[in-house]
Amino acid sequence: MRVFKFGGASVKDAESVKNVFDVLQKVGYEEVLLVVSAMGKTTNALEVVIKDYFEKSANLNASIQEVKKYHNQILLDLFDDEKHEVFWAVNEHFADLEYFVRSNKSPNYNFVYDQIVSYGEIISTTILCHFMKYSGIEAQWLDVRNYIKTDNTYRDAEVNWEITQKNIAKIAKKKSLFITQGFVGSDENGFTTTLGREGSDYTAAIFAYCLNAESVTIWKDVPGVMNADPRYFENATLLNQISYREAIELAFYGASVIHPKTLQPLQKKEIPLFVKSFVNPLLPGTSVSKGQDLEPKLPCFILKKNQLLLSLSSIDFSFIMEENISEIFSLLHQFKIRVSLIQNSAISFSVCIEDKFGNFNDLKKVLSKKFKVSYNENVSLYTIRHFDAKASEMVEKNKTVLLKQLSRETMQIVAKE
């Protein structure tokens, strides 16, 4: 079994969906499992629905209709007959979404988020599966919520590997083309959970691990893994081969091509990962596999925007000791704030953080009781793996550097543009 992951950009409109069919014709589709994201910017559009829902906005129905209109246009562009069963199937999913919005009583934002936003993946895979059949490829739609089981940490759920393994084993010997949703799972009560934003790569890795897959391929709109994001850095270069270790390092520091959780299950079973272009599917792309000799020989640049640089100092000029740092990290964990960089001195402690869940102001109130708190908003974190003087100079140019840290292989700079 091979596992393919197609992201939102690869199914953003009718032409893109047709291109997925063309890719499968070129690279084969027997014993393949497709993990597919929501179409285009659907996740963002559903986040607007969630916002309108909690604000009790008069725009709520209009927000839902925008999502329906977008998908309906794709359907009309793909299927000649408006009586095709796919129209009914998609309308049923939207009816379920509208029923949830009318009937939900939970005030838990993260719970509501997962129930609503997951419809993006459910609808995209429904459309894709019907189009495959319509175009002559037999396909079987899987509801991933029946396979990937998690705890109830909504928006960032932990996988129950034992149950998930048993569920996925049921399809191991079947030779169909399977199509399922990325990013989504369900808890023990059957409520939908999500695995964290951009978690579709992780879904592919979960299935690959449980199926002992031959390989995983992530199909992107870029030729493979680059040494830098071409949107922000000039002269980005393709990395033909990299090791699991290096890929995990790059993902940890924020490289957007591969999700941070994706690589660990693949590495455990030495399942190779390929990152390829859905525009030119026969090109080799980047392979990620075992081997120290696969480390890149040139600097790799990673940029994380919209970070916070938080600096804490003791009110009475006492040292920041282990017990203080332990307490700080406990609070960061409690408020679900991701730490990207740490630096401390005798009486101060600085962290570059990412406030994914909007909890920083609440954290700040708690910290202010014990520490003097200062912070810089909207800073950028630059990481250079395998840095050299030229790479460092290029990143620092025309920026105000707030913090800089070096190790043998890695340089990190927090800067204001």
Cite the DSSP H helix spans in 118-237: 119-134, 161-169, 200-211
Residue 184, C-beta contacts closer than 8 angstroms, at least 6 positions apart: 118, 121, 122, 144, 145, 148, 192, 193, 194, 195, 203
**8 assigned to a ligand binding site:** yes
**40 assigned to a ligand binding site:** no
| d(C-alpha 347, C-alpha 326), whole Å | 15
| d(C-alpha 324, C-alpha 349), whole Å | 10
DSSP-derived 3-state class of residue 17: helix
**6 assigned to a ligand binding site:** yes
Q: Which of 301, 310, 316 is nearest to 386 (CA)?
A: 301
The values of phi and psi at residue 96, to 5°, are: -65, -40
**43 assigned to a ligand binding site:** yes
Ramachandran assignment for 268, one of left (phi > 0), alpha (psi -120 to 50 degrees), beta (any other)? alpha
**42 assigned to a ligand binding site:** no
**319 assigned to a ligand binding site:** no
As beta bridge partners, residue 36 has 6, 181
**231 assigned to a ligand binding site:** yes
Q: Binding site: what residues are annotated?
A: 5-8, 43, 121, 231
Q: Binding site for substrate: what residues are annotated?
A: 43, 121
Q: Binding site for ATP: what residues are annotated?
A: 5-8, 231
